[in-house]
Structure 1
């Protein structure tokens, strides 16, 4: 999709059968040139996958890199000083109702120096054999420096890799690569090429190019500290202490590289799996949220400011799912989570049975 009014309206630009988009990059000097990393259909092979390029602002697209019908493009980074140089990660995967194949010979790292007309696979130092998901990062201060998270069938080969010659050669610097299928997010500080961040259940920072790691955004308990499962990071190019971290519980901000975080809890972005209502008038709403427990809250309020977060009460844990309310007394609420746990809440006393 494309917006020409700052996001107020959007128009569709095609690539429907690619199904899943891994990354979109826009040429820094020519906004009509756009690159898309497309994963393709998760459930079957198809040809609509790989790297696509548009030279007319998304009106038309050309596929400029294709591996096979089961291998798509999952990540894409650009040399900001020489935008014709791009690095791309391919990812072979296929899901069936009975299982998931998250790797194969199609996964790898490719480079182009002519804006995508020609690509070469980068293999020097990258482990042979079946690889899974790969995440890429390029240094803005020194574009010859890259880091990659490489998932591999052999745990001894999986981890963080580093190149300091534009991808010509790579070396494994550590085993860091948390749950690749779900994360594979790596970032290099735009002002400091040796400071690298990796996202996972928590967030990790390295000051030595990825060799050793310190956990930031620590979680003393599940609900204290920064919420688990982080998927995106923005590093202020003018102040390396200033970061935005996004994950399963929303957006967090730090001004000291993660020593302290504050939660920006004013986005209506909770993802509900299922909702229900009780028999009250006005009724209350019950819902289970992805990785954010189960909740109940009013449908109306007398306050002029409307319904706020504090009006909601927790009814369950984990990935909240379905809820049922006792039809004879809304005091008792039954909730379950995706792992098969069930709870009964006494909404008046707060007591809970599992």
Structure 2
């Protein structure tokens, strides 16, 4: 529902001493609130899906701060290098089984329609690889190599049937969480095989354009890394089908890349491009700059002219298209049916990404008139494009949280309904008049009525959901729940195999170990609930005191007495009945960060000791580990100046054995990701051993005491003392955000950010192999 500009956020508990900080967050994050859609077949639960914060700023900050440890930029091709190291390391042959969901979906960033195979379409998932459908996007199957980077930024098809995929999502933030890639890939056999064509250091790719008359002529909008300057940025052209590339439009500085590249279908010598100057630092986000601008080439991309003074700025916009430090992402739409009709949408540089100018040309860009500025209910840096109907030059779409549609060349706009929110891709099928495909944070949709509102059909099989968390019943391994990006919290019972029961961005989910009808579930910033009827109805947790809550606020049930629950903000809160909380600590962080948008200085993980009453350990986003041995009466700071602490764990049989996992990409030999204490937290040592240099997101103690960890580069097993690690099987290269070990069935459950949930059995023989390796390691 619409709410006053810059004064809205999800309905969440305003606890004592929390209101001031939450109000600040409201002002920054939430100009307009949008309901995050729960899948259509989900059971309706209480409370209803909450309004989300404006745009994906918060989860992006959540992940970016983790991965860029120590305030340093993200290393070049960090995930790819970690994956390459993982592939060379030891591996144990376990079989992972996909547990879905297939009916929930996830963010889609690119779509390509096969020009030679009817009803065939290729879909690029933001962190889930490339998927193919031969039934008009009703069902999809993966055609992407498992060890390739799974982040897809753009898709395109040539008239010769070649399919192109650009890796690395250019939408910042966001990650929602977003990931980088390693260049452009091409398939000439319907997705059965892929060849990398180069541009390995482009990091992110926003668009790919193939000349409709000459499929060997290709343009790529390489946006570059958000986290470091340099690399391969700008508009690249290939005239030999991608074998070689030439930088034909470079940025004015080393933080400027390309956002859009569009070939005039009536005159392929005319090419349009928009450049985007952007950079993300630990406490600064600059999503615009003097390098942003609109460009046109009339000689096939060999030379370019910047179009600066060609528009009269929209009222309220004093920038227009001039070089200005405030100019942000620019979308371009060229009407395929009349290429002289060109649309341009501009935005500001800020975290709000406000749309500022809308311009229309009827002479191929010789002149522009001012159009009506559409409403954007998420920052335009999150969506960033325009799409024009190939059969009607006056019919266009602007992506936002809601899809905005105009049928009169942008004079008026309306909301096109019937889909999930946050839109990123749209393409028409040239073989079937009126058929159009659309991609958003909920998946891929098809309309056979030219996109008319309420005519969209969602795909029925989309196994690329982005999970933040997973929990499993101790009594029934098939009973799982988890939190997802922009698709709420979902479960496997009381409805279809997976169905939604709490909206927003699903965060922590915890099933009671003795009674799986008792469930705790959260959405962002500490809005957490308890259900006693398996999620059908939910009651908000009461009384917790905190000034700041993390995007993913931790909840821990005491392993000896699960009626006792711990809940972290900047302080730790405790409940004796699982519903009413009181604080048991002061602020256990280094204090609030300087970031005006995101509430840094928060607890990220909690663990209680099963065999030592009163012993609780916590970790924070500013790299601190704190400990109490008397249930909060006294606290000691055990470790500081570490990267983001992703998980702390206490051995249930020996409370002196503690583990901590850390985030951050780091070069070989420059720091560990897994720490171990055998003296109750007094001293810690690095047991990362041969792990690749990727973030570690979770650790659990498995059968016979072996250690199981989740990383951005797969799942690993190590002996009780760590030091030597085996990769378990061959999961797709999507970040594994959470793992749970279900002891009664010896199953390990893994949540991935982009490929759904996987499970595998951990047999006794595997544990023995891991133990043996530990004995042989010095």
With normalisation by structure 2, the TM-score equals 0.41
Give distance in 1, aligned partners of 2:363 and 2:410: 16
Specify the alignment match of 1:203 in structure 2: 403
For the pair 1:115 / 2:115, whether they are aligned, the reply is no
Structure 1 pair 311/112, CA: closer, same or farther in 2 (3 Å)? same
- Could you tell me which residue of structure 2 aligns to residue 333 of structure 1? 519
Contact 2:270 2:299 in 1 (8 A): yes
Measured against aligned partners, the alpha-carbon deviations of 1:13-44 in whole angstroms (never above 9, x if no partner) come to: 22121101011111223222211100111012
Partners of 1:235 and 1:27 in 2: CA distance: 16
Deviation, structure 1 residue 74: 0.5
1:84 Cα deviation from its structure 2 partner: 1.9
SS at match of 2:201: helix
Structure 2 counterparts to residues 275-290 of structure 1, below 5 A: 275-290=470-485
1:149 is the counterpart of 2:334: no
Is the CA contact (8 Å cut-off) linking 1:22 and 1:75 kept in structure 2? yes
CA contact (8 A) 1:107 1:131 kept: yes
- Displacement, 1:83? 1.3
Q: The residue matched to 1:342 in structure 2 has which SS? A: strand
- 2:453 paired with 1:259: yes
- What is the deviation of 1:285? 2.5
Q: Deviations over 1:169-190 (max 9, x none)?
A: 2222122262211112211211
Match of 1:303 in 2: none
The answer on 1:230 being equivalent to 2:423 is: yes
Among residues 472, 477, 487, which one is paired with 1:292 in the alignment? 487
Contact in 1 for aligned 2:485/2:506 (Cα 8 Å): yes
What is the CA distance between 1:269 and its match in structure 2? 2.6
C-alpha offsets along residues 253-306 of structure 1, whole Å, 9 cap, x if unaligned?
3344423223333222322122232312434232211100111227xxxxxxxx
| Paired residue secondary structure (1:181) | helix
Residue 351 (structure 1) aligned with residue 537 (structure 2) = yes
The structure 2 residue matched to 1:158, chosen from 352, 356, 374, is 356
**Alpha carbons of structure 1 residues 290 and 156: separation in structure 2 relative to 1, 3 Å:** closer
Distance 1:282 1:202 in 2: 38
Residues 223-242 of structure 1 show CA distances to partners (whole Å, capped at 9, x for unaligned) of xx422222222235577644
**CA distance in structure 2 between the aligned counterparts of 1:347 and 1:4, rounded to whole angstroms:** 52
Unaligned 5+ runs, structure 1 = 218-224, 299-307
CA drift at 1:97? 2.1
The partner residue of 1:38 within 186, 200, 222 is 222
Mapped partners of 1:312, 1:157: distance in 2: 37
1:95 paired with 2:271, answer: no
Give the direction of change, closer, same or farther, for the CA distance of 1:236–1:177 in structure 2 (3 Å limit).
Answer: farther
SS of residue in 1 equivalent to 2:394: coil
Which whole-Å CA distance do the structure 2 matches of 1:135 and 1:242 have between them?
Answer: 23
Whole-angstrom distance in 1 between the partners of 2:357 and 2:393: 19
- Going from structure 1 to structure 2, the CA distance change for 1:99 and 1:342 (only over 3 Å counts) comes to farther
Instruction: State the 1:148 CA deviation.
Output: 1.1
The CA distance in 1 between the partners of 2:374 and 2:367, in whole Å, is 19
Q: Does 1:13 align with 2:211?
A: no
Q: CA deviation at 1:327?
A: 1.5
Q: Kindly name which structure, 1 or 2, has the bigger radius of gyration based on alpha carbons.
A: 2
CA–CA separation in structure 1 for the residues paired with 2:536 and 2:355: 49
SS at match of 2:439: strand
Contact 1:315 1:345 in 2 (8 A): no
Contact kept, 8 Å, 2:250 with 2:257, in 1: the verdict is yes
Which structure has more helix as a fraction of its residues?
2
What's the CA shift for 1:215? Answer: 1.8
> Unmatched 5+ residue regions in structure 2?
1-184, 312-319, 541-778
**Structure with the bigger percentage of strand:** 1
Specify whether residues 177 and 69 from structure 1 end up closer, same or farther in structure 2 by C-alpha distance, changes over 3 A only.
farther
Instruction: Find the partner of 1:187 among 376, 381, 387.
Output: 387
What secondary structure sits across from 2:288 in the alignment? coil
Show the counterpart of 1:134: 330
Structure 1 distance, partners of 2:292, 2:268, is 24
Q: Give the structure-1-normalised TM-score.
A: 0.88
Higher relative contact order (CA 8 A, sep 6+): 2
CA distance in 2 between counterparts of 1:95 and 1:349 reads 38
